[in-house]
Amino acid sequence: MDPILPGRPAPPPLYGLVLAGGRSTRMRRDKAALAYQGRTQLERAMALLAPHVVRAFVSVRAGQGSDAVRARFAQIPDAHENIGPIAGLLAAQAQHPGAAWLVLACDLPLLDEATLAHLLRARAPARMATAYRSSHDGLPEPLCAIYEPRSREPLAAYVAAGKQCPRKFLLGADTLLLDEPNPRALDNVNTPEEYGSAMATLTAQGSTGRHITVQYYALLREQAGRREEVLVTAARTARELYTELAARYPFSLAPEVLRVAINAEFGDWSTPLADGDAVVFIPPVAGG
Amino acid sequence: MFRFTRTSIEPQALRAQLGDPACGGYAAFEGWVRDSHEGVRVRHLEYEAFEALAVREGERIIAEAIARFGVAHAACVHRIGDLAVGELAVWVGVSAPHRHEAFLACRYIIDEVKQRVPIWKKEHYLSGDSGWVNCERCAAPAAHAHRRAPA
């Protein structure tokens, strides 16, 4: 049991909310009902959330409550129409004002346990919210985030002022922003093409995906914007891994000028990577 | 012995560790932070290392020097972190029965360390610019394509 620390109040209880009230216009099918590896996306999101929260709810629009995908979960119906996902959070905060809310969109098929665990560990109850900084555009990711009770009144005022964008709300609020441990975890799926691509990624991860720790030093550390990350990758060799990373980060160094280390020993670019390997790409050295 | 330090290197103490009645020669090399690099004024330096591999590779270099030149003792200490101009960045010491091998082994160690050990140096210039030594001119072709052609 955790020791009770004098003078430090317990953080507000954490409730979970999966947003499944969207209209899925571009997908032309209900996103909550899309199946990945035999489970609907809503079931996957609820299963990811459940172990971490006191109570878990699905946010629904009026009229969605009795459909087969949603009916088996506790629900919170939107009180506002046509203002997008912020309506779900607003309704949840109104119903349980003393709770903090871990909010998840239900179109994040690549969301993994590591990403959720990192968010929970880093949670800052004294701030208004804890969220990830998008690996694509650097802006807050509002739909895999924790909203503390302190955010309730500012959020209600924000909506009352006619604003609806949860990302801009987080930008203007006292938000703790974190780097994503897995930069693809929050890729959302809006179109049939993105659905196909996400399924292919999950299949690749399931059959050939390896967990690789990559540590960055010197110029590569600056260009990657991080010292270390754990990736699930289909890359078979260090060369393929570098190609994958160079597509994600603005690396200026060609592989020809780098050396590679695997598990803290000089390695070969074409050696097959194994699950759990630690890889370092070594820029030109300059000791002495 | 090869190791890193985050505080200043003390050559006197290190030198004492190489003492041996069988040795008649001691050679050392000290690398200092210079105030310019290729004509550009340097304000301070920053060294970073991939320590796990760097210590292994450094120890291999020391063992090679001992085996190759038959010296009695050899050691190298490299500083990491922020260094000011004039500070000691690297120290190599070798003791041997005779001076000839001591000089050769000392030279071998510093040359190999500079080429093989994963240590990086970032120079911070008086102008406010900075750059990773040996990394700024070997950009991938894709990066060059984004640069403006010289006037």
pLDDT tens, residue by residue, A186-237: 988 888 888 888 888 877 666 567 889 999 999 999 999 999 998 888 788 9
Distance from CA of B150 to the nearest CA of A (A): 19
A285 vs B31: CB contact, 8 Å cut-off?
A: no
Rounded to two decimals, the ipTM of the complex is 0.88
A284 vs B119: CB contact, 8 Å cut-off?
A: no
* Nearest residue in chain A measured CA to CA from B4: A287
Report the share of chain B in percent with pLDDT over 70.
Answer: 90
**pLDDT at residue B139 tops 90:** no
Q: Report the pLDDT value the prediction gives residue B138, as an integer from 0 to 100.
A: 54
B118 vs A261: CB contact, 8 Å cut-off?
A: yes
Q: Say which CATH superfamily domain B2-131 falls into.
A: Molybdopterin biosynthesis MoaE subunit (3.90.1170.40)
User: Would an 8 Å CB–CB cutoff place A284 in contact with chain B?
Assistant: yes
Q: Report the pLDDT value the prediction gives residue A58, as an integer from 0 to 100.
A: 94
Task: Please report, for residues A49, B28, B70, B97, B138, the alpha-carbon distance to residue B103 in angstroms, rounded to integers and kept in the order given.
Answer: 65, 8, 12, 12, 33
User: Would an 8 Å CB–CB cutoff place A270 in contact with chain B?
Assistant: no
**pLDDT at residue A2 tops 50:** no
B118 vs A288: CB contact, 8 Å cut-off?
A: no
For residue B114, give the nearest of A217, A282, A287 by CB distance.
A287
Q: Report the pLDDT value the prediction gives residue A206, as an integer from 0 to 100.
A: 61
**pLDDT at residue B142 tops 60:** no
The full set of domains in chain A, from first to last, is: 14-179 (3.90.550.10), 209-282 (3.10.20.30)
Q: Report the pLDDT value the prediction gives residue B148, as an integer from 0 to 100.
A: 34
Q: Report the pLDDT value the prediction gives residue A1, as an integer from 0 to 100.
A: 39
Distance from CA of B124 to the nearest CA of A (A): 14
Top mean pLDDT of A11-25, A165-179, B135-149 is at: A165-179
A153-175 pLDDT, tens digit each: 999 999 999 999 999 999 999 99
Tell me which chain A residues have a C-beta less than 8 angstroms from the C-beta of B46: none
Q: Which of B93, B90, B95 has its CA nearest to residue B114?
A: B90
Tell me which chain A residues have a C-beta less than 8 angstroms from the C-beta of B110: 288
User: Would an 8 Å CB–CB cutoff place A254 in contact with chain B?
Assistant: yes
Q: Which of A139, A72, A144 has its CA nearest to residue A108?
A: A144
Task: Please report, for residues A200, A216, A266, B80, the alpha-carbon distance to residue A234 in angstroms, rounded to integers and kept in the order given.
Answer: 11, 20, 22, 35
pTM: 0.55
Lowest average pLDDT, out of A36-40, A78-82, A117-121, B68-72, goes to A36-40
Q: Report the pLDDT value the prediction gives residue B27, as an integer from 0 to 100.
A: 98
Report the share of chain A in percent with pLDDT over 90.
Answer: 54
Distance from CA of A216 to the nearest CA of B (A): 9
Average pLDDT for A257-269? 95
Instruction: Please indicate whether residue A15 or residue A52 has the higher confidence score (pLDDT).
Output: A15
A128-155 pLDDT, tens digit each: 999 999 988 899 999 999 999 999 999 9
For residue B120, give the nearest of A215, A246, A285 by CB distance.
A285
* Nearest residue in chain B measured CA to CA from A264: B53
